[in-house]
Amino acid sequence: MDHKDHIRLLNDGIPSPGGIWAELGSGRGAFTLALAELIGPLGRIYSVDNNKGALQDQARVIHKRFPSNQPKIEYINNDYTLPLSIPSLNGVVMANSLHFHQDKSAVLELIHDYLLPRGCLILVEYNSDQGNTWVPYPVSYKSLQSLVEECGFVNTRLLKRVPSSFMREIYSAISYKMDARQ
């Protein structure tokens, strides 16, 4: 996968520039970079990872990519499975990070609490329920639908699929926090 794939996987889930977003388990920032391009300078991103070196690499790449018009990104060196001090969010991106957690519900419920009503979760994941050493607990799109519903999300839909040389296919999907009025 390359940067164009990252953009394609997120693009249909980003309704317009701006907003307050987080990427949880952002690593070296491939999807943070795509998110920054899609929400533009009007938005704000909280990039969260427990690897400080990866966050530092990410900041350098973002600075190089946007030398004159820096996106507003706050790098948070922390475990995203623990409560974070961040504002309510329009959206959360989790790209290739949920598959490290056997108890996905606990992570998804925490994310649900971060979102504004009608806020969204965009998940990028391998389309499989069979793990391996490197991707221990993937969740197929079919399994994701019931999992997120149990955690209070609604209107889940598939955004994109891209082939992967590793585990055959990666997909992106979007789910929404129910509006309090519903």
pLDDT in tens, the chain (182 residues): 889 999 999 999 998 899 999 999 999 999 999 999 999 989 999 999 999 999 999 999 998 988 777 789 999 999 999 999 999 999 999 999 988 888 999 999 999 999 999 999 999 999 888 878 888 889 999 999 999 999 999 999 999 999 887 778 999 999 999 865 44
Residue type present at position 172: S
Q: Would residue 34 count as lying in a domain?
A: yes
Q: Would residue 15 count as lying in a domain?
A: yes
Cβ neighbours, 10 Å, residue 54: 18
What range defines the domain where residue 10 resides? Answer: 3-177
Distant-in-sequence, close-in-space partners of 26: CB < 8 Å, separation ≥ 6:
32, 47, 48, 49, 54, 55, 58, 95, 97
Number of structural domains found in the chain: 1
CATH classification at residue 34: 3.40.50.150
Token duo for residue 14: 């980003």
Q: Would residue 182 count as lying in a domain?
A: no
pTM above 0.95, yes or no: no
Q: Would residue 60 count as lying in a domain?
A: yes
> Would strands 72-77 and 44-49 be described as parallel, antiparallel, or unpaired?
parallel
